[in-house]
Amino acid sequence: MNLDSAEFIRVGTSYFAIIERPTISKDTEKIMISWNKETIVNDLGKDYISAIKKYYGFCCIPQHINYEREIGDFYNIYHPLDYDIEIESEIDLQELQSKIPYTLKYIKHIFGEQYLLGLDYLKILLENPTQILPVLVLVSSERETGKSTFLKWLRKIFSFNATYINADSFLNNFNSDLNGKLLVLVDEIITDNQQVTERIKFLSTADRNKIEGKGKDKEEVESYYKFIMTSNFEKNFIKIDKKETRFWVRKIPSINKNPEFDKHLNKEIPFFLNYLVRILHSTPKQTRMWFTAEQIRTSALTRLMDHENEEAKSKVYDVLFEIQENFNTDEILIAPMDFQSISKKIHGRNAITPKEARNILKGFGLTPTDNTYKYEGFELLPHGEFVKIDRLGRYYKIIFSEIRHFFDVSDESLIIN
């Protein structure tokens, strides 16, 4: 073991070795691993201990320009970039542009008509890493679009300040892998768990998070996560409502990539970073997430929001159609809770909620009774039989033939199992 290239530090009462670890690309990356005093003494001698730098503790201050490893008597665990950004030297902008053809073409591919906003987003990541930004999601049902390449490229730029996780990780108690991270990268996300959605929404705007590792107590730390995700499911990779403003969803077209495209992209990174610090923002900061909801609204986001409504409409139809078929009746008395009860038998855990049913019926121009009354409702038994049952509540009187035009499908084709 060659210890000449290792750097040792003491943080609090613990010792660490900072070493270069080989990577699959034949480069190296700097990592810090725990060490112990006895081993240092055995390997390097007792006098070496007194020369080791000492810190009271760790801190995490995200910086990419004018990076500082030591903040007072604390060791900054945020990783410096592996590239030089020459903010004081005069570099011709056009000359820089000529050095990054692959990069600029790729950014135009990812952000399309929002190209300038895309440059703003990347410039903010570089210059102001603590600025809250929208959750960026790249979607496409097509293959070979370059979605995953975007995540790999950002990981290459921001190194250990970016981490990959999956959707289930948001439900895991142990989340120490998020500590000190700037970018949280989620490749191929698909979830119908509302808890995951709420967790992403919370963390994308929170300035603090509780970190817990196995065998360790929870610790509250500052957070500044930026979520960037990809998905093959354009319409239903996650559940969000129409009032949501934290998601920036872009549909990515297919691309014919040169087999060496990734290498060209990575080679241009130093020039691109110097380009970013020299261009101006195309839009000033206007909200806590910099961009307004209107600026980042896309047809892909609209489709995602509308899918929730269309799915709920389908489930309302399923319930009404089954009742109409089983009882051959055009008049149906039903309350929102009845929709949920019957829908659970048809759709399982994806059953419609009373609130969703109420909103759909409201959209049809229907109103419930003004008070609680007895009515003859319906129930779907576990073995599949429909029965009538006396109920009490505020119910809707639905004339099935009068609302069929709201459902743009044929009878049987709408039933969802």
Mention every residue, 6+ apart, whose C-beta is less than 8 A from residue 144: 254, 255, 256, 257
Q: Give pLDDT, residue 411.
A: 40
Which has more pLDDT, 274 or 307?
274
Domain boundaries, the chain: 7-76, 93-297, 308-414
CA 181 from centroid of its chain's CA atoms: 14
- The average pLDDT across 375-388 equals 92
Confidence check: pLDDT of 7 > 70: yes
The DSSP secondary-structure symbol of 292 reads -
Confidence check: pLDDT of 24 > 90: no
Q: Give pLDDT, residue 408.
A: 59
> Which tokens go with 13?
């009462």
Q: What are phi and psi of 321, to 5 degrees?
A: -65, -40
CATH of 93-297, one of 3.30.470.10, 3.40.50.300, 3.40.50.720, 3.40.50.620: 3.40.50.300
- Which range among 18-32, 176-190, 389-403 has the greatest average pLDDT? 389-403
Query: In the chain, what percentage of residues exceed pLDDT 90?
Result: 61
Q: What is the mean pLDDT of the chain?
A: 89
Taking the C-alpha atoms of residue 351 and residue 61, their distance in angstroms, rounded to an integer, is 45
Taking the C-alpha atoms of residue 200 and residue 305, their distance in angstroms, rounded to an integer, is 17
> What element of type H or E holds 225?
none
| Among candidate residues 160, 101, 139, the one with its CA nearest the CA of residue 236 | 139
Confidence check: pLDDT of 374 > 80: yes
Q: What are phi and psi of 108, to 5 degrees?
A: -65, -35
- Which range among 271-275, 406-410, 411-415 has the greatest average pLDDT? 271-275
Confidence check: pLDDT of 376 > 80: yes
- Which range among 102-116, 182-196, 224-238 has the greatest average pLDDT? 102-116
- The average pLDDT across 183-196 equals 87
Is beta strand 386-393 parallel, antiparallel or unpaired with respect to 247-251?
Answer: unpaired
**The total number of residues written for the chain in this structure:** 417
Q: Give pLDDT, residue 413.
A: 35
Q: Give pLDDT, residue 412.
A: 39
Mention every residue, 6+ apart, whose C-beta is less than 8 A from residue 115: 107, 108
Confidence check: pLDDT of 371 > 80: yes
pLDDT tier at 215 (50, 70, 90 boundaries)? low
Q: Give pLDDT, residue 62.
A: 95
- The average pLDDT across 296-319 equals 86
- The average pLDDT across 2-6 equals 77
Query: In the chain, what percentage of residues exceed pLDDT 70?
Result: 96
Encode pLDDT of 111-153 as tens digits: 999 999 999 999 999 999 999 999 999 999 888 899 999 999 9
- The average pLDDT across 1-14 equals 86
- Collapsed DSSP state (helix, strand, coil) of residue 48: helix
- The average pLDDT across 36-55 equals 92
Going from the C-alpha of 270 to that of each of 26, 83, 103, 116, 171, the distances in angstroms are: 19, 6, 11, 20, 37
- Other beta carbons within 10 angstroms of residue 147's beta carbon come to 23
The answer to whether the CB of 343 falls within 8 A of the CB of 353 is: no
Encode pLDDT of 57-95 as tens digits: 999 999 999 899 999 999 999 999 999 898 877 888 899
Is beta strand 183-186 parallel, antiparallel or unpaired with respect to 7-11?
Answer: unpaired
- The average pLDDT across 147-163 equals 94
- The average pLDDT across 284-312 equals 89
In this structure, of 123-127, 189-193, 265-269, 404-408, the range with the lowest mean pLDDT score is 404-408
Side-chain-side CA neighbours of 302 within 13 Å: the count stands at 5
Q: Which sign, positive or negative, has the C-alpha torsion 12, 14, 19, 25?
A: negative
Confidence check: pLDDT of 213 > 80: no
pLDDT tier at 157 (50, 70, 90 boundaries)? very high
